[in-house]
Amino acid sequence: MVKFFKYLLATFAGGLVAAIFLVLIFIGILSAIASSADKEAKIEENTLLILNLEGPISDRVVENPFEDALAEISGNPAAEGLNRILANIEKAKRDENISGIVLETGLLSAGYETIEEIREALVDFKSTGKFVYSFAPIYTQKGYYLASVCDKLYLNPGGMVELNGLYAERTFFKGTLDKIGVEMQIVKHGKFKSAVEPFMLEEMSEPARLQTEVYLNSMWNHLKDKIATARGVDVALVDDIANQMPMLRDPQLLLDNKLIDGLKYKDEFLDELKQLTETEAKDDLKAVNSSKYAKVYVAKETKGFIRDKIAVIYAQGGIDDGSGSGIISEELSKTIRKARRDSSVKAIVLRVNSPGGSALGSEIIWREVELAGEVKPLIVSMGDVAASGGYYISCAADKIVAGPTTLTGSIGIFGMIPNVEGLTEKIGLSFDGVKTNEFSDMPSLTRPFRKEEKEIMQAYIEHGYDIFIGRCADGRSTTKEAIDEIGQGRVWSGANAKEINLIDEFGGLNKAIELAKEAAGLENYRIQELPEIEDPVQAFLKGISGEAKMFIGKSIMGDEFKHLQTLESLKNGAQIQARLPYDISIR
């Protein structure tokens, strides 16, 4: 009994200490929020804008002081938003106090189309005569691609640059499923709908290999052309250097071939920046980061209240993937409907960055896009990926804008239902039941499809595919037959997609907004970003368990946490999908 009370007291004391510790952390976070309240910041003459892009970059930044504080505690870079990056670059272009931009992109991991949009914004920034410099001890290939546009690109003398071409790899689960006695029962339409192959094959099919080779080479051709142009060298040289694995060679190779501008230590780089900004050697450089610069006011040419708006609606993530995050069809539909009914919204830009998801959810969103396009200009801006359901919700737009490296298409649908009969036999489980009608027990996870059930499922998939290509044909002013020829689940790069009329123009979010402005005949307008962001304090209190799960998962598993999220979305998502059930990561 004495030991019982001893352990009980120890448990109580431990819980009390943990609770006090959590309260202190919470108070600390609240203090940080209070000290960084949304107040206007001011900067001095000859200030540098520092763009640290080594953390995750989403389409839209969410000003969440809790996430910023947690990132600081964990030592991970804070999340950044493409919208804030582009807005800050455009503002810095007009700001007389900003002398130039310094990139910190060495370990950049964003998608190539996101990088492309930042790159184009930096080219526009340089047109003012202001400079863009970059320095890093290590550049990933993505980091180097962005930095290649700089006036000066410096590397630490002992540093590395990854420049070895693109590689795409798939993980196949069939062998593992066979070992545990699980069969994935698959129905699909389209020989290129390779999304289901990891569950039915042990290597890429020939159609899957072909489509991957086509879009991968299309992307690489674009990247090396841009690098060659920016660095003033031949395209063949970029390929030649990439074939030599420069990451593991003396960086002098890169310097001799003009792919970098110099080998410097950090102090030497800072000394050069001081000379550029006329800063005394003994003084510190004046610099401002992206989040603080967002609070700096720089006057625009237009003054006074502007009523007319262009609504930029963000659709990012899987569609109704069952995880509660990403795109929720009912909520996005409501947002589009609200913009359609708002008389002050003169045009809509739908920013799509999605691998797709639920076929039904895609159809629900498509309907609202079509209705909105009937009453006001609607332009789609595609991000890194807008494929399958992501293309479904885009096809009704007046115009579709994408980048050469955007992954799109994948027009097709599929269904997957596991049969765990083999597994249950291994562990000694058996099942028995009673039904009133022929298909009362359909679908069953504990037995294979009967012939009639498979025929019903296949007919349903064929019907869904017919609707999908019909939506695309109507939106692109062509025929079902023409869409089917380039459909069949095939993934295309943006460059390929323009050649086959799946998109209209190359460009990013800024280009789409410009097209919306022209279509609506607007002179002056303001941007309204939708959906409206929930107050971070309320969101934290309401969703603390989900945020904690995400934060802990990322902290423990790092970048590999995304694979767990993909499996979770497949487990909880709709049975019939118009999506890529894997994360495409091109490196």
Q: Is the pLDDT at 562 greater than 50, yes or no?
A: yes
CA distance 437 to 453: 13
Given 293, 323, 358, the domain boundary residue is 293
342 in any annotated domain: yes
The model's pLDDT over 53-105, given as tens digits with 9 standing for 90+, comes to 998 999 998 776 666 666 666 666 778 999 999 999 999 999 999 999 999 99
Q: In this structure, are 279 and 325 located in the same domain?
A: no
299 in any annotated domain: no
Taking residues 521-546, what's their average pLDDT? 74
The model's pLDDT over 435-448, given as tens digits with 9 standing for 90+, comes to 999 999 998 989 99
Where residue 149 sits, what CATH number does that domain have?
A: 3.90.226.10
Given 512, 533, 554, the domain boundary residue is 533
Taking residues 42-54, what's their average pLDDT? 94
Residue 35: pLDDT band (50, 70, 90) is very low
Q: In this structure, are 395 and 258 located in the same domain?
A: no
Annotation says 193 is catalytic:
yes
Domain that holds residue 464: 309-429+437-533
Among residues 112, 110, 157, 162, the alpha carbon closest in space to that of 135 is found at: 157
Q: In this structure, are 341 and 388 located in the same domain?
A: yes
Q: In this structure, are 489 and 354 located in the same domain?
A: yes
Residue 5: pLDDT band (50, 70, 90) is very low
449 in any annotated domain: yes
Give one DSSP letter per residue of 246-289, joined into a string: GGGS-THHHHHTTSSSEE--HHHHHHHHHHHTT--TTSPPPEEE
Mean pLDDT over the full length of the chain:
87
569 in any annotated domain: no
Q: In this structure, are 464 and 379 located in the same domain?
A: yes
By CB atoms closer than 10 A (0-12, 13-18, 19+), residue 502 is buried
Q: In this structure, are 325 and 359 located in the same domain?
A: yes
Residue 545: pLDDT band (50, 70, 90) is very low
Q: In this structure, are 456 and 520 located in the same domain?
A: yes
Q: Quick one: CA dihedral 501, 505, 509, 513, positive or negative?
A: negative
The model's pLDDT over 133-185, given as tens digits with 9 standing for 90+, comes to 999 999 999 999 999 999 999 999 999 999 999 999 999 999 999 999 999 99
More confident residue, 351 or 302: 351
Give me the pLDDT at residue 321, please: 79
196 in any annotated domain: no
User: Are 327 and 355 within 8 A, CB to CB?
Assistant: no
Taking residues 247-276, what's their average pLDDT? 97
Q: Is the pLDDT at 13 greater than 80, yes or no?
A: no
Give the C-alpha distances (Å, rounded to integers) separating 446 from 181, 237, 418, 420, 571.
11, 58, 8, 5, 16
Q: In this structure, are 66 and 111 located in the same domain?
A: yes
Rg of the chain taking only CA atoms, in angstroms: 26
Catalytic residue among 329, 388, 394, 569: 388
Catalytic residue among 93, 142, 152, 193: 193
Taking residues 292-299, what's their average pLDDT? 92
38 in any annotated domain: no
Q: In this structure, are 121 and 159 located in the same domain?
A: yes
Give me the pLDDT at residue 574, please: 54
Q: In this structure, are 286 and 396 located in the same domain?
A: no
Q: In this structure, are 258 and 350 located in the same domain?
A: no
Number of compact structural domains in the chain: 2
353 in any annotated domain: yes
195 in any annotated domain: no
Q: In this structure, are 74 and 137 located in the same domain?
A: yes
Q: Is the pLDDT at 548 greater than 90, yes or no?
A: no
Report the DSSP pairing between strands 345-354 and 287-289: unpaired
Coil, strand or helix: which one is 315? strand
